Structure 1
Amino acid sequence: MPNLVPDLIAPGTLSGVPQPVLTAGPGLLLRPWTAADAPMIVDAFRDPATRHWHCRSVESVAEAEELIDGFTRGWRTETSATWAVVTAGGEVLGRVALRAIGTAKGEAEVAYWMRAAARGRGAAPAGVGAMSAWAFGVGLHRLILNHSTRNEASCRVAQKTGFELEGVRRSAELHVDGWHDVHLHALIGPSDQREDDPLGPYRAAG
């Protein structure tokens, strides 16, 4: 039976072109990951906070290379889009990503982490903002952002980039220290955007 509502993003819209490099502000870029970045992922996951909130470890360059291969497959299959956040000089600061991309309904989940040495420099909100502006530009309509209610740093990133709190998912994520309640934030595309568009600067930058 035919669908009465067409897909928001036609198949091949993403995978039919190379993953773009995005400007995230002065001296800050989002670019696809390469195998040469693997040691930076290993370094990021040496941080206890990164391991805790992401519920995984990366112990070797080989494991990091497997992750990067997955990032590449995600773009090719239009199921995810993952960028390295880097300075103009090439320093890898962290990762921003769209997970579980649904091209039919135009939805995706935002994810991110920053290396411990890169925190406090505004790279996470700048990266999320630029990525979100790009996502709406290619036709996505709704982005969601989930984080443990105990992860205050992640909540600040959501707030700075305009993701509004929609509610609490009770006992929704299992971490090594037990079940966590989760904040659900969301950001809607420009067709339903309020006048004080939080992504205004990122749309211009991208």
Structure 2
Amino acid sequence: MTDIPPVVAPGRLAALAQPSFALPGGLVLRPWAAQDAPALVQACLDPDIRHWNRPGLLSPEQARERIAAWEDRRLAERAVMWAVAPAEGGLPVGLIGLADFDLPGGSAEFLYWLLPAGRGSGAMAPAVDRVSSWAFEELGLHRLRITHSVANPASCRIAAKAGFPLEGTMRGALLHADGWHDEHLHARLRTDPVPPPAQAARDAVRRKVTRSSVL
């Protein structure tokens, strides 16, 4: 029997520095820091985030501990979390991350949320696309997936705009406070073309960065 080599070698994720990325609308993706704890506390109080993500309540100290634990999880190759934050500084307005890594099998799953201050900005689909690009091109993953309740159409729209087609419905897949929810499964492969909305957002960011470097 022929051994199949891992898609991503052990240690590859831990060896990569976590990058920051520019987003449209004056936002960036960057690593979380201890001073971001108030945003995490606020997120755990937000009804929509609590309903779809089940984060649990956190004190400021617990929020700082969780942020520190995210770096430990990155080094353990279990997850990578980014803050969606204003480019000029300030508290995050959202979170995006990859978790449930299967590096030998070349896959991972997205998670994300936005606080009210970040909703309507159009930032999340470009954020998903930018992290996908990094995961495919730099880390070397083959497949990324997004799952969400069928009762959460906002996540469905984000997945579609970021080039994650709907593959099917998983029945009774996740328990929420109001009972078991069916979930949509979306996925994108490394070999899939970049969707036009995502390419347009990439081009807009590149033009902005180019103008800034010239000024």
Global fold match (TM > 0.5): yes
Structure 1 stretch 14-23 or stretch 169-178: which is displaced more?
Answer: 14-23
User: What residue in structure 2 maps to residue 130 of structure 1?
Assistant: 130
- Asked if structure 1 preserves the Cα contact closer than 8 Å seen for 2:161 and 2:198, the reply is no
User: What residue in structure 2 maps to residue 157 of structure 1?
Assistant: 158
Alignment RMSD, CA only? 2.0
**Unmatched 5+ residue regions in structure 1?**
none
Structure 1 stretch 115-124 or stretch 177-186: which is displaced more?
Answer: 115-124
Structure 1 stretch 25-34 or stretch 155-164: which is displaced more?
Answer: 25-34
What do residues 166-202 of structure 1 show as CA deviations (whole Å, max 9, x unaligned)? 100001110110000000000111xx21475664356
User: What residue in structure 1 maps to residue 212 of structure 2?
Assistant: none
- Asked if structure 2 preserves the Cα contact closer than 8 Å seen for 1:134 and 1:203, the reply is no
What do residues 112-138 of structure 1 show as CA deviations (whole Å, max 9, x unaligned)? 001112100012112111111111112
Give the superposition deviation at 1:203: 6.1
TM-score, scaled relative to structure 1: 0.90
Could you list the runs of 4 or more consecutive aligned residues of structure 1 that deviate by over 4 angstroms after TM superposition? 195-199, 201-206
**Unmatched 5+ residue regions in structure 2?**
207-215
- Asked if structure 1 preserves the Cα contact closer than 8 Å seen for 2:24 and 2:123, the reply is no
What is the aligned-residue identity percentage? 42
- Asked if structure 2 preserves the Cα contact closer than 8 Å seen for 1:15 and 1:78, the reply is yes
- Asked if structure 2 preserves the Cα contact closer than 8 Å seen for 1:95 and 1:113, the reply is yes
Q: Distance in 1 between matches of 2:85 and 2:116?
A: 14
Structure 1 stretch 118-127 or stretch 51-60: which is displaced more?
Answer: 51-60
* SS of alignment partner, residue 38 of structure 2: helix
- Asked if structure 2 preserves the Cα contact closer than 8 Å seen for 1:24 and 1:129, the reply is no
User: What residue in structure 1 maps to residue 12 of structure 2?
Assistant: 13
User: What residue in structure 1 maps to residue 211 of structure 2?
Assistant: none
User: What residue in structure 2 maps to residue 96 of structure 1?
Assistant: 96
Cα distance change on mapping 1:11 and 1:202 into 2, 3 Å? farther
Q: Distance in 2 between matches of 1:13 and 1:63?
A: 29
User: What residue in structure 2 maps to residue 37 of structure 1?
Assistant: 36
Paired AA for residue 113 in structure 2: W
Aligned residues: 203
Alignment of 1:54-133 (within 5 A): 54-91=53-90, 92-133=92-133
Paired AA for residue 153 in structure 1: A
User: What residue in structure 2 maps to residue 170 of structure 1?
Assistant: 171
User: What residue in structure 2 maps to residue 141 of structure 1?
Assistant: 142
Cα distance change on mapping 1:56 and 1:46 into 2, 3 Å? same
What do residues 64-94 of structure 1 show as CA deviations (whole Å, max 9, x unaligned)? 1222122111210111111001121123121
